[in-house]
Copies of this chain bind each other. A is one copy, B any other.
Amino acid sequence: MEESVAALTAFVLALFVGYEVITKVPPLLHTPLMSGANAISGITLVGTLITAGMKLTLLTTILGFLAVAMATANVVGGFLITHRMLQKFHRK
């Protein structure tokens, strides 16, 4: 239970941080923000790594592989398209 309260604390505080920071992003950058946030949501990769790292049966091996591959695609693709988009923004 103690641990859960600590987790909740981090969750609540991060929500506040997220709210404050993201309301400051100008409309100009809303599309890259959307895709950048999506890339960050690929953090589930960390969870899939832990799962895939303890392979046992054939079924779990396949599931683990798929999970890691999909999460990696989310992360790599997400950061890459955001990067491509932001490269286009420049001053005169």
Q: Which residues of A contact B (CB under 8 A)?
A: 6, 9-10, 13-14, 16-17, 20-21, 24
| Minimum distance in angstroms from A16 CB to a CB of chain B | 5
Kindly list 9 other residue pairs between chains A and B, CB separation below 8 angstroms, not including A6-B6, A17-B20: A9-B9, A9-B10, A10-B13, A13-B13, A13-B16, A13-B17, A16-B17, A16-B21, A17-B17
Q: Which 9 A-B pairs have the closest CB atoms?
A: A20-B20, A13-B13, A6-B6, A16-B17, A9-B10, A17-B17, A13-B14, A13-B17, A20-B21
Q: Is the interface of A mostly helix, strand, loop or mixed?
A: helix
**Distance A14 CA – B20 CA, assembled complex (angstroms):** 12
Name A12's closest neighbour in chain B (CB-CB). Answer: B13
The residue of chain B having its C-beta at the shortest distance from the C-beta of A6 within the complex is B6
Q: How long is the Cα–Cα vector from A21 to B16 in the complex, in angstroms?
A: 9
